[in-house]
């Protein structure tokens, strides 16, 4: 489904060039639940951003559903992000002024689709927040905020869900709930890729890749 061919990524930090990825080759199958692990600064997030068409590699090629994204204009990459990719972040990034309902529906605004109540309610129910739809993010616990962010990542029916340390700010109980949701989504056929520092959660994924110094080492 997604194929990375010899991906390199170099960016500037001050006066020095940082080689975040040094030739990554990776194939991800549809419906797979994959964990990416590795120390801080290894290049995990950079890899996730390239997988999500949020960043472009300096060298190499990303093939998404058989189509190379290498020479795609920004507008095409935006379209892929809208239609095929869902993002979940460690910091949740919910908009404080909007209700849970509106936060979940936010990506529909950009994809110009109507925010159907039934669909939002189903997503909220799936993440266990059907009773919280009218609440503000400030009224939610950390776990609830992350579940809202997962529902937001799913609202455009993506083919891939990319989660950057989704349990990084949560206690073990809430981490378990988040993992259970991701597991269920994967079982239902959604390709799910998560970065985690939790070895126990990584061990339960179908596949775990370890990144070190910009290279996949296992």
List 32, 102, 144, 165, residue binding other proteins (CB under 8 A): 102
Which residues, including other chains, have CB under 8 Å from residue 211's CB and lie 6 or more apart? 24, 36, 37, 38, 42, 43, 44, 47, 217
Among the listed residues 55, 121, 130, 176, the single contact to other proteins using CB under 8 A: 55
Does residue 18 bind other proteins (CB under 8 A)? no
70 binding other proteins? (CB under 8 A): no
Q: Which of 15, 40, 66, 75 binds other proteins (CB under 8 A)?
A: 75
Task: Work out the angle at residue 106's Cα, subtended by the Cα atoms of residues 105 and 108, and round it to the nearest 5 degrees.
Answer: 70
List the beta bridge partners of residue 191: 160
Cβ at position 81, least distance to other proteins in Å: 5
| Shortest Å, Cβ 173 to other proteins | 26
CB of 204 to other proteins, least distance (A): 26
CB 132, CB 124: distance < 8 Å: yes
Helix 100-110 vs helix 117-126: angle between axes, to the nearest 10 degrees? 120
What is the rounded CA–CA span in Å between residue 128 and residue 177? 10
Stretch of 58-66, 121-129, 138-146, 152-160 contacting other proteins, by CB under 8 A:
152-160
Is residue 82 a contact residue for other proteins (CB under 8 A)? yes
Alpha helices in the chain (DSSP H): 44-51, 74-84, 100-110, 117-126, 142-154, 172-187, 199-204
In angstroms, give the least distance from the CB of 38 to other proteins: 16
Q: Which residues bind other proteins (CB under 8 A)?
A: 45, 49, 52, 54-55, 74-75, 78, 81-82, 86-87, 89, 91, 93, 95-98, 102, 105-111, 114-115, 152-153, 156
């Amino acid at each position: 489904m997604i194929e990375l061919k010899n991906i390199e990524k170099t960016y500037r930090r001050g006066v020095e060039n940082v080689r975040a990825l040094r030739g990554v080759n990776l194939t991800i199958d549809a419906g797979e639940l994959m964990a990416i692990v590795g120390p801080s600064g290894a290049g995990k997030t950079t890899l996730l951003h390239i997988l999500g068409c949020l960043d472009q590699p300096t060298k190499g090629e990303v093939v998404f559903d058989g189509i190379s994204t290498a020479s795609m204009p920004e507008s095409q990459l935006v379209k892929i992000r809208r239609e095929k990719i869902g993002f979940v972040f460690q910091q949740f990034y919910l908009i404080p002024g909007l209700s849970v309902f509106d936060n979940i529906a936010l990506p529909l605004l950009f994809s110009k689709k109507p925010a159907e109540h039934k669909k939002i309610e189903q997503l909220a129910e799936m993440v266990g927040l059907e009773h919280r739809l009218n609440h503000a993010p400030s009224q939610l616990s950390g776990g609830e905020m992350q579940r809202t962010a997962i529902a937001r990542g799913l609202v455009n029916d993506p083919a891939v869900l990319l989660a950057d340390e989704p349990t990084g700010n949560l206690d073990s109980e809430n981490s378990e709930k988040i993992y259970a949701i991701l597991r269920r989504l994967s079982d239902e056929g959604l390709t799910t890729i998560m970065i985690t520092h939790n070895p126990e959660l990584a061990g339960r994924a179908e596949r775990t890749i370890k990144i070190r110094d910009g290279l996949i080492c296992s």
